Structure 1
Amino acid sequence: MLVGSVLFPFPFINDPVLSRARQGQENPYYVLKRYGSWRNVYYYEHSGASAYTKEEEVTVGVTTSNTKEVEHTAGVKLTATSEFSFIGASTTLSVVSTTTTSTSENTRKTTVRREYPAGPRRAEAIWYREDRFVLERLNGEHVLEWAVRNPDRVITDAYPAR
C-alpha cells in the first residue's frame, strides 16, 4: 500500500542514465514513494507429537543488497537502525529498530526461537513491518528501490492462543 510520496529536485539525485543537463531539462524532479506492508517471516504448525524447538534467522534493517547504489544514486545514507537521511539536506526520515546480531552497518540478523511442548497442536506466525522505497523519474520510469524491515513493529499470532 502506498504510504506517501515526496518530490526531490534533480540536484539531489545522481541519475545513472541522465546527465545533469538532461536531468534539468527532461526530469527536474524525482518522486520517492514509500510502500508499507507486513511481511510474514515465520510460520510453523506444530503437530504436538513430540517437543520441538524451531529457530529461524530473520534479516532486519535494509533487506536489499543495493545499499551502495542507493547511497550513490539517491544520496541516501542507510544504517542498521533502518534510519536514513538525505545527504546534503536537513531532512531526516527514520524508521526506528533494534536487533541482536550485526552483519554489516545497515543490515542485521535476529533469531526467532520458539519451543513447542509435546501434546497440544499449535500454529504460529510472525509478521514484521516492511517499507519499500521506490525512486522514479517524474515520467514514472523506475530508477531505484530498496526495502527496510523494522523489528520493532512485529505482529505475532498463534492458534490456539496461550
Structure 2
Amino acid sequence: MKIHSFPSISNQQSKVLILGTMPGIASLTLNQYYGHPRNAFWKILFTIFDEPYSTDYETRKKLVLKNNVALWDVLQNCVREGSLDSAIEQEIPNDFTDFLAAHPKIEKIFFNGQKAAQYFKKYVQVSNHYQLITLPSTSPANAGISFEEKLHVWGNVAI
C-alpha cells in the first residue's frame, strides 16, 4: 500500500529537527506523529523538557514548537505493508533543500532510529553546518533498549 508522510511541525524558531522514517499504521490512522500508544517518543520529549505529560495532540505540537524543535519524516511516501521500516519499498524522500532553506536556525538533525539516518544519508546531502545525530528508535519494536536508556540518550535533543 502506498503511504504518505505528514507535513512538518515547525516554525522559524526551530533549531533542532527530529526525523523519523515514515509514520506507522497507528500514526497514520490518528493522523499524528508518533501516535502508537507504546511509542516512547512523546513521553521522552515531555520528560526532557520538564513538562507534564499529555496525550492531547495539540499540546504535544505546542511542546515541540515551544522548545524550538521541528518534526518531520525523511520519506515523503513509500510502499509498505504494516509499520516496520524494513518493509519500506519504492521510497521517495522529502525535499530537504527547500525545508532547510526555510528553517535557517536548524543546526542539529536527530534521527529517530537507524533507518531514518540511513535513508537520509542515501538521498540527502547537507553541508557540514549541520550536526547529524542518530538516536535509538522510540518505536515499541525497539524493545531491546529500556525507556531509561532511550531517555538518557535522547536528552541531547534539549538545547
Q: Which band: TM-score by shorter chain?
A: under 0.3
Which of the pair is proportionally richer in helix?
Answer: 2
TM-score (norm 1): 0.23
Between structure 1 and structure 2, the one with the greater Rg is 1
Which of the pair is proportionally richer in strand?
Answer: 1
TM-score (norm 2): 0.23
